Structure 1
């Protein structure tokens, strides 16, 4: 009889890298200045945030052409295309004759006290964020085990449980990093407890 064994199944992958790792240099200061410039001029986005009680600013509901407005965003997309292709290869997707293509990209400026509540990104395949300004001690990205709703009778995990067994994982990215995950993975940004704004650029990639 073989010896007992335990292995992991149905793994949830998280991709983390420097945005510049794929050979495309991004000026962090220029990117931050561009985010603020767009936010200042985007009256439709400001109005949407106010009407919907959205903390700070997002261009999600107002602008669809960031790479056209500022060349640095085109550089960001060029880098992201390569990162997403690398992640898709790791996931062993069979894409056939189609590609994963950028669906949308938007700016998030989270003020002190602001939160982005738990959500997923429907109709996309890969989602992610690259980080522009991360004050020391600001919110990490909180990722939720996608099986959690089916664990209603399970005990809670020990506080020192291995990372892959935890119900929630917190990832504290640095400026210039990019994180990618499959779009069905529920995530949130807890309250920004610092006195400075947290700036990120998020995006979705779709198939076909």
Structure 2
């Protein structure tokens, strides 16, 4: 009998943020994101100059855990989630630890997109979701082998989830998603009238 197994597995972690620590007040976190976006003139300027839809603090305020108490509390919870995921990934850290490199806000308005990208200088990346109005975009993950599939047929529309070329994950407010930083991902166009708000982050080996 043929033995067909799966090789080179790509892992995706999803859990409620509160699963590892005290709950973060969602209303306070949302208000903090909006307040920071309103006051961050450098971030607004960067978004305008780079035709970035909505707002991101990535190029201006990526150290939110140091600046604001609610983000400091958030980082403590994220540290536990990342440690859990790293254990599942069976990393040999050789006595070192995964530590937060950067933490930033994303506010995506109606019609906004985040184009496909990866985080090449980090080990684990992720996002926690602050506002996901009805119709807000799922996050799309791409099979990392795609550039090598020059002659491969497309997959069937009803292919098993683990066999698909693209995976759409529709998170809810309060969820945290984690993935290895080399995994290419994007956010398709936000079709909701209200803003899609998230906080993203990178962890590196220290």
CA distance in 2, matches of 1:23, 1:75: 9
Given that residues 111 and 197 in structure 1 are in contact (C-alpha distance below 8 angstroms), is that contact kept between their aligned partners in structure 2?
yes
Given that residues 63 and 104 in structure 2 are in contact (C-alpha distance below 8 angstroms), is that contact kept between their aligned partners in structure 1?
no
Deviation for aligned residue 1:70:
1.6
Deviation for aligned residue 1:25:
1.6
Which blocks of at least 5 consecutive residues in structure 1 are unaligned? none
Partner of 2:51: 53
Please state if 1:204 is matched with 2:202: yes
Query: With structure 2 as the length reference, what TM-score do the two structures score?
Result: 0.99
1:172 corresponds to which of 170, 173, 177: 170
1:13 corresponds to which of 11, 14, 22: 11
CA distance in 2, matches of 1:150, 1:38: 42
CA distance in 2, matches of 1:71, 1:85: 22
Deviation for aligned residue 1:65:
2.6
Partner of 2:89: 91
1:154 corresponds to which of 148, 152, 155: 152
Deviation for aligned residue 1:194:
1.0
CA distance in 2, matches of 1:201, 1:64: 10
RMSD: 0.6
Given that residues 140 and 166 in structure 2 are in contact (C-alpha distance below 8 angstroms), is that contact kept between their aligned partners in structure 1?
yes
Which blocks of at least 5 consecutive residues in structure 2 are unaligned? none
Given that residues 24 and 78 in structure 1 are in contact (C-alpha distance below 8 angstroms), is that contact kept between their aligned partners in structure 2?
no
Given that residues 46 and 57 in structure 1 are in contact (C-alpha distance below 8 angstroms), is that contact kept between their aligned partners in structure 2?
yes
Please state if 1:193 is matched with 2:191: yes
Please state if 1:37 is matched with 2:57: no
Deviation for aligned residue 1:30:
0.2
1:108 corresponds to which of 106, 109, 120: 106
CA distance in 2, matches of 1:73, 1:160: 40
Q: How many residues align?
A: 206
Q: Provide, for residues 44-63 of structure 1, a one-character-per-residue CA deviation record: whole Å limited to 9, x for no partner.
A: 00000000000000000001
1:63 corresponds to which of 61, 64, 84: 61
CA distance in 1, matches of 2:145, 2:62: 33
Partner of 2:179: 181
